[in-house]
Structure 1
Amino acid sequence: MRALLHIPESVFQENKLGVQHVMELFKAEHWKELNEIVVSRDHFGAPASKFGEEYWDLSSYVDTKITNKKGIFFSEIASEYLSMEMKLICFYWMYVAGKPRTGPVIKTTTLISRHSKLNQVFKFLDSYAFKSVETLSHPLVFSEFCSYIQNQQYSIGNCEHIFIIVANLRRATGVLPFAFLSPTDQTPKELAKEYAAKDKIKRDQFYAIPTRLMELIYGKALSIVEALHPHRDLIHSLLTDLHDNYLLGKKEVDEKIDSGQWQWLKKGDPAYRIEVSKFKPSKDFEIIESYIQETPLATLAPTNGSKFKGWITNVQTACYVVCAAFTGMRRSELYGLTADSFKTRIFNNQKYYFLQSQHHKMMQGRPQTCEWLTVPIALKAIELAEALSRNMRSQLLIDGDPIRVHISDCLWLNQCRKATFPKVRFEGSLRTHFNQIAKAAGAYITETDLDEFKLINPNCNPQHADEKIQLGKLWPLTSHQCRRSFAVFAKRHDLCSSVAIKQQFKHLDVPTSDWYGEGGLDSKLSYFQLDVELKGFLRDVQHEMVTEKIHDWLNSKDELYGKMGRSIMKERKTTAQIFSSWDHVYGLVKSGKLNLVGTLHSYCLAGYDCQMQKVSSPAACFTCENQLIDKEKAKNWFQRHKWAKEKLLYLDSVGELTASGYSHFVTQIKAAEKVMHHFKIPFSKLKMDGTKYEQI
């Protein structure tokens, strides 16, 4: 059987037959044959895991650059039959029913995540000595299970995911050889709200960083990148020499072991590393000193070998922070950055900077190549990170192992021990060095920071926040905080719209982007104070401007258009005496009897009583009795006519013009032509073959 990230129909049918065979073996209790079924393979097609094994190796089906979870365990379940049931469910999810509502495809990372929740269900069954998951169908057993979950003191999100897994089991009834019928009508969300820990009912949104702390941390990361970027090639040469020095020592020791001269030592012994260190031609500190003496690095880099290694990781972390801070990328997307990720584009004579990476979220099969808008300093961060990882990437590239070759373009590698291959850094390593950067920046929390934290993080769980965010403590930086802070800062300072954040963050909808920007608008409004006197002054100015417009229309001979415009032109002689007084018109405006709102194409004398639902299609306003168009607004109709013509002809040229699209643009074009004809504005009529479209 073959497990692919995207399953062609032929493979799906093949897998379906294989799953039916597995189900039959389970029903017949042919355990020996069932245990020999291959459930996963390596990159070369050889079996990696079999059904009966306690660990299923799925490393060939996940991107090892973005996750360190490469398989699933079944060793926590003592009951052999329960363990077999759990394996069968995971096997079913893996090959057939990943998402019953949307199709059979399931990401391996989703399977691994589901397994961790399914494990909670089977640990309950195992601890109470129940024989099968079918017993969970009994109301008393299900009630006991809910109490078990409640005793675990899980958060509402964790609880909901567990109950969603239970719902998935119910949907699998009829396919699996055992059945589960839910004894409750409550939804997973309702069950989670009832049985989650009382202090964890409120979901804890990732934190946005208060401004002062953000400036300190980001500023420190930027200063590290700026200071070391000019010396990146020197650092690379130094790291290469340190590794070559180790290889020479290793070669000496290996020759003594292989020749039989040293029979007392084996390559896996703890003393092996000590002997290699003794036989290195030079000490690490000697190599470091030879490179950095009489250079600016002499005051920046430590000469001690182990401290220098930690310093390099710290510099790499600073590069990571810069890329995260100025793009808002997810961690998985940051791990897709490569040496040539920095791109530039020129639009309308304006130069823009991008980071190119892989987008994995909600993507089936291969990730999608995307770009994130950024700032020029990101280029220095990428180039510095590339130099720091160049030697490690070379080691992985020449090894030949498919997994190592795959991660050989990743910039965020670490090699704790030179005897082992470099590995991708993960959140634990990052957080340690996040703290070091924050400490070096002096990012300790003050009262002002706490006040701002509460303002820009309205959706945080107060209990959790009080534990993590404390006065005088170091700010606990994480990767995702950079993403939240990006959205909040953009909202707070009107740098971009929610739609732009959606595009930058690769969200599926705008509400998700608004959720990420929660707190930004509140913090913006907090800086505004109500000035009653100024507000009154602005209102008076607005009344005067509206009065000036209406008085001019009523008492001049200027051409007007629209139903209201024509009405005013007809009534000018009869209303001249009544409305000739500016003060009289001002009184009507101030009392609200006359009102005026300008749109992009006309004036509306209904004021804000009109909901402006037709503004996006200006031609629709022609039926409104409150529309008025003067000479100034007529110029906008000329521009609208030009735009609608160009859009219509373009859609027609690429074969994407539909009847409804034709109708939408032609109505606007004809309306604009009426306006321009009335005001004697020269224009060229639309010329195109409209026989294949519905005529207006």
Structure 2
Amino acid sequence: MKLNPNNTALDLPEGFNARLIPLKENLAKHLKHQNYNKLNKIIISMPKNREKSFFGDDRWNISPYWHKQSNLEKIHIDFTFLKENEKLQLELKFISYGWIFHKSGRKTKPAKIQTVWNRISSFKKVYRFLSMNGHTSIAAFKDKNVWQNFLDFIKDEEYSKSSLVEMFVAFSRVRDLEQWLEKSFELPSFKANQLAKKLSTKEENQTLSIPGRIADIIYGKAIALVEECYPYKKELGLIEALIQKNYREGQKTVDRKIASGIYTFISSPQDKQYAREVNNHQPQKISDIISNNINGLSNLPIGSNGTDWASFSSELMTACFICCDAFSGMRNSELNEMEVNASFNETHEKFEFNFIGSKEHKLHNGKRMSWVCAPISHKAIKIVQEFVRDMGQQLTSRNHDFKNNIWLTQKSRSKLPRLITGWNTRLQNFSKNANAIITEEDLQEAKLSNPNSKGSIIKYVIPGTYWHFTTHQCRRTLAVFASANRLSSPVAIKQQYKHLYLQMAEWYGEGAKELKKKLLVSDPEFQQLLAEVKLESSTNKFYNWFNTDTKLGGTGGKAIMDIRQDAPTIYSDWNTLYKAIKSKRLTLHSSLHSHCRNGYNCDMEGAINPAFCVSCSSDGSIIEEEQAISWQTKHKRLTEYFTDNSNISFQEKLPFILQIQAAEQVMKDFKIHYEPFPELIEVSIQ
């Protein structure tokens, strides 16, 4: 990662062009000499293909400093709320500039722009109070009465504890800037956590897991729409492209009439009359474009204008998003980073699995990762790929940053496509359209499966109202459902969710035990059957590993092969093994790449990359031949990808180089022929 600590206090995105970093200025000097003209012309950022952002602007464009391309809602720092109080606005700008360019925090490691943006957004609460009460500086808090009034104000606003902690920590970060600002604000001293706890009346709540019946309604509607549209995906993409082309033709006609002096009554493209004339001059009716290019899709609108089509396409994109979110457990940030090549397949033990590829920012700063998903997710991605194809081409011709992103919209036909934002609003509209009305039974299940969400249940889970659907609920719901129905272990959830620690995977499954008890009561025979099948399957695995000449890989597998002739007697008797597994003296968890016998002692070496399991230092990994074939497939796919994309940086390659190296080690163990990756770097995966 290339950083420029002399000019910025930020952790810059990978491959950031150092020439786009503005020179750091001495703000205190300009203010001291009242050189406001010079001060206002200080450059904040130099976005690619956009105008520079200056200190004097009411809104700063900070888009170049983001690691993620999908944060359209956060690419600006907005100071317009202080426009009527110039002194407060100037002071908050000084502080914000200091956090971006001078010192982002007390740690030596630079902060991400997300951290700084959140801090500034949180600190706006402070400046709103100051503005409302006629103060001109944060130094007003040295007056005990003003400070107490502020604390009373904060308490009345009923902010959550975490929100208050972030705001109070920002006070400490202001103190860190005082020497640089050449000014002492004499701010009160306090401990952020203690003060936040004292003032917060709002209970911290875990994200809600969706009750089963509600999930069936919402997910069922999304799946049905995707299944219905999938056979027509190319036609839908064509219609979207033709509607946009039709608009452009009307626009060209109107522009010619304006240029030739025929339309003197239109002064600019922003006039309502301009939009009206463009619509009137489109060569085809939208209803004709639709009917001429598709038949048989009952949900398709055949309206006289584009309104119905816009509503339909919005509903379809939301359904596709739900199918990806609900059946992968991906974070919202990871879903938003999906590109047109996001979907791929791999074969494991003669079964084909679907995967979603995207960038992971929480722990890996935008490294490409993969998530197992359901076949319906694969279909949803294929639909969206076709639907946004023309939009992507429009952006590609402009070399736009979002040209490969999959979640695009062009609701405003006169403008370039943009990234879809506001997913929670879309999801809540989808819930309403699906008629997902909460019942008393849903409320009881919500209480059962959400033991850490009492406040959210009181606020949102109200019988007779629509389910308040948000993006993160899908991630929670999948973990709870999979755990409650014994479809996944915490280890597998940890790997799928890209968690660093097993405890976090267990936290996501909170409520599953209570739900499982309910399922056991409702169908104990089926649950007993599932438990018995799992026990017998694990017993058979251990018995075959120790009592046949089956080839095994992984450190645990090699250890088993070494002691087969002199193994403890427990491994030679099936019934004894069965009892040991039933009593949990032996454990076995399985994933696509290996088995693990370490149980809760396994933390995958503290890493998410499955490559680390191949050489597990605690002899826990066991790899069978079918899993070795899966590693062979992964090796082939990754080497082909790097061959076709030679411009990828080392930092982006590193996690996959580890996987390639692990795959070659596995294939070598199983004597599987492979072509060594020519650029393989000698990086230890121990």
Same fold (TM over 0.5): yes
CA distance in 2, matches of 1:412, 1:165: 34
Residues 241 and 203 of structure 1, relative CA distance in 2, 3 Å threshold: same
**Residue 86, structure 1, aligned to residue 88, structure 2:** no
State how 1:53-68 maps to structure 2 within 5 Å.
53-62=57-66, 63-68=68-73
Per-residue deviation at 1:432?
Answer: 5.0
Give the match for residue 372 of structure 1.
Answer: 371
CA contact (8 A) 2:228 2:297 kept: no
Report deviation, 1:458. 1.4
Q: Which runs of 5+ in 1 are unaligned?
A: 536-560, 566-595, 602-611, 617-639, 645-696
Please name the residue that 1:114 is paired with.
119
The yes-or-no answer on 1:34 pairing with 2:39 is yes
2:414 to 406, 412, 419: 419
The secondary structure found in structure 2 opposite 1:373 is strand
Offset at 1:11?
Answer: 11
Code of the residue aligned with 1:276 in structure 2: it is: V
Gaps of 5+ in 2: 1-5, 529-565, 571-581, 588-597, 603-618, 624-686
- CA pair 525-250 structure 1, distance change in 2 beyond 3 A: same
Equivalent residue letter for 1:277: N
1:454 to 437, 441, 447: 447
Following the alignment from structure 2 to structure 1, what is the Cα–Cα distance between the partners of residues 226 and 115?
36
Q: Cα distance 1:146–1:214, how it changes in 2: closer, same or farther (>3 A)?
A: same
- Please give the root-mean-square deviation of Cα atoms over the aligned residues, in Å: 3.7
The letter of the residue matching 1:297 is L
Deviation readout 1:504-545 (Å, 9 max, x if unpaired):
2223333332222211122112344599xxx9xxxxxxxxxx
Matched, 1:444 2:437: yes
TM-score after normalising by structure 1: 0.69
State yes or no: 1:148 paired with 2:125.
Answer: no
* Counterpart residue number, 1:469: 461
Q: Which range moves more in the overlay, 92-101 or 24-33?
A: 24-33
Partner of 2:297: helix, strand, or coil?
A: helix
Tell me the alpha carbon deviations over residues 622-679 of structure 1, each in whole angstroms, 9 at most, x when there is no partner.
xxxxxxxxxxxxxxxxxx99989xxxxxxxxxxxxxxxxxxxxxxxxxxxxxxxxxxx
Equivalent residue letter for 1:373: V
User: What is the identity, as a one-letter code, of the residue corresponding to 2:472?
Assistant: H
State the distance in 1 between where 2:172 and 2:299 align: 60
Q: Note closer, same or farther for the CA distance 1:224–1:529 as it changes in structure 2 (3 Å cut).
A: closer
Q: 1:465 to 1:41 in 2, by over 3 A?
A: same
- What do the CA deviations read for 1:9-68 (whole angstroms, capped 9, x no partner)? x999x989835x233334554434322221221216x86222233221223333442332
What is aligned with 2:629?
none
Equivalent in the alignment of 2:683: none
Correspondence 1:43 to 2:38: no
1:204 is aligned with what amino acid? N
1:657 corresponds to = none
Contact preservation (8 Å) 2:54, 2:60 = yes
- Counterpart Cα distance in 2 of 1:502 and 1:99: 30
Q: Closer, same or farther in 2 for the Cα pair 1:234/1:281, shift >3 Å?
A: same
Measured after TM superposition, the shift of residue 180 of structure 1 is 4.5
Give the one of 47, 53, 56 matched to 1:52: 56
User: In the aligned structure 2, how far is the partner of 1:376 from the partner of 1:562?
Assistant: 42
1:225-244 to structure 2, matched below 5 A, reads: 225-244=226-245
Q: Distance in 2 between matches of 1:494 and 1:614?
A: 17
Indicate if the aligned counterparts of 2:246 and 2:284 stay in contact, CA closer than 8 A. Answer: yes
Letter in 1 for 2:332: R
* Code of the aligned partner of 1:283: K
Name the aligned partner's letter for residue 302 of structure 2.
Answer: P
Return the alpha-carbon distance in structure 1 between the equivalents of residues 601 and 69 of structure 2: 51
Deviation of the 1:88 alpha carbon = 1.5
Could you tell me which amino acid in structure 2 is paired with residue 421 of structure 1?
A: L
Does structure 1 residue 25 correspond to structure 2 residue 30?
A: yes
Partner of residue 169, structure 1: 174
Give the residue type in structure 2 aligned to 1:454: K
Q: Is the 8 A contact 2:43 2:53 kept in 1?
A: yes
Once the 2 structures are TM-superposed, how far is the Cα of residue 347 of structure 1 from its aligned partner?
4.4
Contact 1:49-1:57 at 8 Å conserved across structures? yes
**In the alignment, structure 1 residue 96 sits paired with structure 2 residue 97:** no
Q: Could you tell me which residue of structure 2 aligns to residue 302 of structure 1?
A: 302
Q: Percent identity of the aligned residues?
A: 29
Deviation at 1:353, TM superposition (A): 2.2
Q: Tell me what 1:290 maps to.
A: 292
* Offset of residue 327 of structure 1: 0.6
Q: Please state how far the C-alpha of 1:439 moved relative to its aligned partner.
A: 4.3
Query: Residue type matched to 2:466 in 1?
Result: L
Instruction: State the alpha-carbon separation in 2 of the partners of residues 206 and 7 from structure 1.
Output: 29
Residues 341 and 123 of structure 1: CA distance in aligned 2, closer, same or farther (over 3 Å)? same
Matches within 5 A, 1:489-500: 489-500=481-492
Aligned 8 A contact 1:99 1:106 in 2: no
Distance in 2 between the 1:363 and 1:115 partners? 24
1:584-612 Cα offsets, whole Å, 9 max, x none, are: xxxxxxxxxxxx989559xxxxxxxxxx9
Q: Would you say the 8 A contact 2:7–2:24 is kept in 1?
A: no
**Is the contact made by 2:24 and 2:101 (CA closer than 8 Å) also made in structure 1?**
no
Partner of 1:381: 380
Aligned length: 534
Instruction: Decide whether the 8 Å contact of 1:284 with 1:304 is kept in 2.
Output: yes
Q: How does 1:348-367 map to 2 (within 5 A)?
A: 349-362=350-363, 364=365, 367=366
Give the distance between the partners of 2:237 and 2:248, measured in 1 at CA: 17
Which residue, out of 523, 526, 535, partners 2:518? 526
| Counterpart-to-counterpart distance in 2, 1:613 and 1:161 | 37
Q: 1: CA distance between counterparts of 2:205 and 2:232?
A: 42
* Code of the aligned partner of 2:59: Y
Of 69, 79, 87, the residue aligned with 2:74 is 69
TM-score after normalising by structure 2: 0.70
In 2, Cα distance between the equivalents of 1:167 and 1:449?
A: 44
1:370 deviates by 1.0
Q: Secondary structure at the match of 2:193?
A: helix
How far the C-alpha of 1:482 sits from its partner, in A, is 0.8
